[in-house]
Structure 1
Amino acid sequence: MPVVADDGALTPADGRPLRVAVVGAGPAGIYTAEALVRRAPVPVTVDLIDRLPTPFGLVRHGIAPDHPKMRAIRDTLHRALDDPGVRFVGNVEIGTDVSLEDLRAHVDAVVYTYGAALDRPLSIEGEQLTGSLAATDLVAWYCGHPDADRVRVETALAGVRRAVVVGVGNVALDVARVLCRAPQELEPTDMPQHVLDTLAATAVEEVTVLGRRGPVQATFTTKELDELGELAEATVLVDPADLPGEDEPPPPDRLVARNVDVLRQYSANTAGPGRARLTLRFYRRPVRILGTDRVTGVEVERTAVDDEGRAVGTGETEVLPADLVVRSVGYRGEGLPGLPVDPRTGTVPNDDGRVLRDGTPSVGEYVAGWIKRGPTGVVGTNKHDARETVAALLADAEAGVIGPHGDRDDLVHTLQTRGAEPVLLEDWRAIDAAEVALGATRGRARTTLHEREALLAAVRAAAVR
């Protein structure tokens, strides 16, 4: 266990650093690694493990590519990867390349930060039809995620003129905005070329965003809402009847009040000729997706918000013609092989970041990010969350609960001897350079490599130079 020196500082008993594996190289994982190496009173080394060959998680594969300022946050995250105490280990899947039990044998503690990647279904009739997609599928596709199902998404988008997006969070607005973008607006982004080509051929005329409750309960931010009004060839429409009355007191929450102000501005718009229509409709919920082989429409029911803030149906229904339905009603996590997840919350049971197994803290196991707290907050929320978990881990190290007990084999060496192909930081730099070079051939700053084999080919090509 660590020992306390005369000056009160903790020092490893066996002379080597405390070794921690962080599973998931998105913002939560990188913030966790950063906090560990900067805040620990003992030397710490971190292996930042991800199943993809690339770091940054949802910053790379979740934030819409037409948000360059938001996506630029990866420049900040990259500084943590450059810390000598942090080692990026990509292209490694827990349960395939290394078991959870085996991983724990190589390190003194593990922090799980791999997020919540599964979508929540609507669980209504017709959801299985061609043209019905989860936002997770569409976002993965237009962000160039290696696991994106190109055939399914591009089949769903073929011939689309009218789309319905279910949900009123930031991801729903991202989807609506991307669908309404003119080709010239998307051309400068780092979207893969096949994405740009497909969207350019998808002449969307109308996108309707449905919220089952009112604008006061919507979870999008004002920044996201404002951006809709900047679309070059689309007009945002809102029914004034869906908004609080002018004589009603403003919502006490400042963010909500700002949102309502923006929505009131949109409610004065009228659809112009030759422009797409992006309509935000509140107090509506889908009850059935219509169609035989593919989506032809959505039956929606008018709702009201009861005294407890729940959406309740009124029995009044209408049909919205649609070729595409995208659900964006939340995310949920799943367990790694050997790691428990509460099926109700989609999170790993924990106490201030300490993993609970059968209600008892599991020595040396921790969580941070969405898999800890659920899919809430913005990118920066993960920084505070990571610090809370790191504080718990370091408290356990100080108490002697965890510590650098004995020698441990190097994880990367073990993976390589087993035939795995871990991608390290220099390998990621080769991928980064290849994407920049590809973008330059098309007059862009970057073009995302979307196939895993193409990513690994860039690594191999750099290795032989």
Structure 2
Amino acid sequence: MGRHCSFWHVPIQVPKVCIVGGGPAGFYTAQHLVKVSDVSVLLSPRFEPSGLGNANPQGPDWCHFCPNVQVDIYERLPVPFGLVRFGVAPDHPEVKNVINTFTQTAQHARCSFHGNVRVGKDVTVEELQEAYHAVVLSYGAEGNRTMGVPGEDLAGVYSAKDFVGWYNGLPRNRELRPDLSCETAVILGQGNVALDVARMLLSPVDILKKTDITQHALDALAESSVRRVLIVGRRGPLQVACTIKELREMVNLPGTRPEMEASEFEGIAETLKSLARPRKRLTELLLKAAIETPGEEELEKRNRAERAWGFRFLRRPLEVLPSTDLIRAAGIRLAVNRLEGDGEGVRAVATGEVEDVECGLVISSIGYKSLPIDPAVPFDTRKAIIPNTMGRVQQTAGLYCSGWVKRGPTGVIATTMNDSFDTARTLLQDIGKGTLDVSTVKPGSQGVSALLEKRGVKPVSFSDWEKIDSEETRRGETRGKPREKMLDVGEMLQVARA
């Protein structure tokens, strides 16, 4: 049933918006669309409530109309929340509290969740565009960036994305079975994900068993022989990409001690005064862990530690070295770099020196990348994003994007929240200005459901997900954990439809 705008004197159908991807970007986009459209106000240059975006007046008769938008979220897995479920470290439960907000959005009267639907396979983007006034692509970055060096296909070499998926219960990574029989592991990359992986490899099992880490990963880590983790980066201490929270967790990790090369920190202390406060605090903590003489209590802790970790700077992978049978990783050859330039323009340049490190486990944490979802959607293969302007997909009316597929795999969850809100504001502004046509009747989920039924696809509703959630929580309680995640999609569907 249409609504009427007295400014335009034309009927407006209830806009139906489809969001592809049930992770943080998708839920934040949905949250803003239903929250702002709840206001149902006319905006003029004289009235713009805080948080609804900047006005772009088009003359004295310009206005925005925020009708009650109907939002449907489509997710390829039977379970929602994406990287909050499968990417956040098990020992960071506070970060997962955002699931409570996402649940409120999913339970909103004008929002529906449709899991177990593979857009691009079960239904095309063009078919979604026929069913909805607007389609927002928020499916994240499922691909791995490769190192591009010889030996990266050897056994014992993993992407951080897959390793994280293994201990967090991502169904497609449940068969990973990483070999943890070596003493030294090398992680390539120095961002927060790299530190998460290092922490998982070195954390006492007594800590991990109280988290929602999967049982098969917990069992493997309990038997792990890894005692030393090197976290390698191509640039220097002033360019390390992790945040102070993750670094502090490494410094304070029970049963471990830092092992770093003092020579890699020459001249760093003299730069502290010129650094911005966040970088200064991070560098001070790094210096304290690396070169300062520890106090008596800290020294005693380090002497008792049976496991060690450390950053290695100015190193770039050249080759993963094979074992004698040429099957497994036995080490890694690193190019030694030097830095050229200043500030943001600093770059790593090879010196010609190389260094070999003996290790049996190599984990590449050099980034994620988005992948094309459908031939009908423009895609920049070089940047691995959907080309867009403020969330509007270029040269494709009614198509939008948010999150990592919009801007690349950078930032934290709060970054994704702001980015997704921006896309939602863009979409609402397009409705208000009439550049997004919402005057026609669209079938929305009813039309898509009919297509899926013909193709034998049975979506999972949010109430179905709550059955899975309840069963996982029950299984976790028997082990003293917050939950025990199901690893098999078939089992998820069986519980959801019970």
TM-score bracket, normalised by the shorter chain, equals over 0.9
Native 8 Å contact 1:164 1:326 kept in 2? yes
Paired residue for 1:29?
A: 26
Paired residue for 1:69?
A: 94
The answer as to 2:389 corresponding to 1:367 is: no
Paired residue for 2:362?
A: 325
Distance 1:227 1:188 in 2: 17
- Alignment-mate amino acid for residue 170 of structure 2: H
Native 8 Å contact 2:16 2:69 kept in 1? yes
What secondary structure, in the 3-state scheme, does the structure 1 residue paired with 2:413 have?
A: coil
Native 8 Å contact 2:180 2:226 kept in 1? no
The answer as to 2:417 corresponding to 1:353 is: no
The answer as to 2:425 corresponding to 1:391 is: yes
Q: For residues 301-322 of structure 1, what are the alpha-carbon distances to aligned partners after superposition, in whole Å with 9 as ceiling and x for unaligned?
A: 2211111311111122221110
Paired residue for 2:332?
A: 298
Q: What's the Cα RMSD here?
A: 1.9
Paired residue for 1:266?
A: 289
Native 8 Å contact 2:2 2:14 kept in 1? no
- Within the candidate set 453, 477, 484, 1:416 is matched to 453
Paired residue for 1:205?
A: 227
Q: For residues 309-355 of structure 1, what are the alpha-carbon distances to aligned partners after superposition, in whole Å with 9 as ceiling and x for unaligned?
A: 11111122221110000011111111112222211110000011110
Paired residue for 1:127?
A: 152
Flag the structure with larger Rg.
2
Paired residue for 2:412?
A: 378
Unaligned runs of 5+ in 1: none
Native 8 Å contact 2:255 2:304 kept in 1? no
- Within the candidate set 273, 280, 292, 1:257 is matched to 280
The answer as to 2:493 corresponding to 1:456 is: yes
Native 8 Å contact 2:227 2:308 kept in 1? yes
The answer as to 2:211 corresponding to 1:186 is: no
Native 8 Å contact 1:109 1:402 kept in 2? no
Paired residue for 2:5?
A: 5
What secondary structure, in the 3-state scheme, does the structure 1 residue paired with 2:303 have?
A: coil
Native 8 Å contact 1:235 1:276 kept in 2? yes
Q: Sequence identity of aligned pairs in percent?
A: 36
Deviation, 1:94, is 1.0
Distance 1:121 1:78 in 2: 35
Distance 2:9 2:110 in 1: 17
Native 8 Å contact 1:12 1:403 kept in 2? no
- From the superposition, tell whether residues 225 and 105 of structure 1 become closer, same or farther in structure 2 (CA, over 3 Å): same
Deviation, 1:402, is 2.2
Q: For residues 213-248 of structure 1, what are the alpha-carbon distances to aligned partners after superposition, in whole Å with 9 as ceiling and x for unaligned?
A: 012111110001101122222212232322244333
Paired residue for 1:117?
A: 142
Paired residue for 2:187?
A: 165
Distance 1:200 1:311 in 2: 38
Deviation, 1:413, is 4.5
Paired residue for 1:100?
A: 125
Distance 1:21 1:332 in 2: 23
- Alignment-mate amino acid for residue 351 of structure 2: T
Native 8 Å contact 1:352 1:388 kept in 2? yes
Distance 1:366 1:372 in 2: 9
What secondary structure, in the 3-state scheme, does the structure 2 residue paired with 1:435 have?
A: helix
What secondary structure, in the 3-state scheme, does the structure 1 residue paired with 2:100 have?
A: helix
TM-score (norm 1): 0.93
Unaligned runs of 5+ in 2: 38-65
What secondary structure, in the 3-state scheme, does the structure 1 residue paired with 2:225 have?
A: coil
- Within the candidate set 382, 405, 417, 1:344 is matched to 382
